[in-house]
Amino acid sequence: MKTGIGQPVRRKEDARLVVGAGQFSDDVDLPRQTRAFVLRSNHAHARIKNIATERAQALKGVLAVLTGADLKLMA
Domain extent listing, the chain: 32-75
- pLDDT one digit per residue (tens) for the chain, 75 residues: 567 788 888 777 788 888 888 888 888 899 999 988 888 888 999 888 888 999 999 999 999 999 888 888 887
The helix (run of H) or strand (run of E) holding residue 56 is helix 54-58
Residue 4: DSSP 8-state: S
- pTM of model > 0.75: no
Nearest to 59 by CA among 43, 37, 42: 37
At residue 24, the 3 state secondary structure works out as coil
Return the amino acid letter for 10.
R
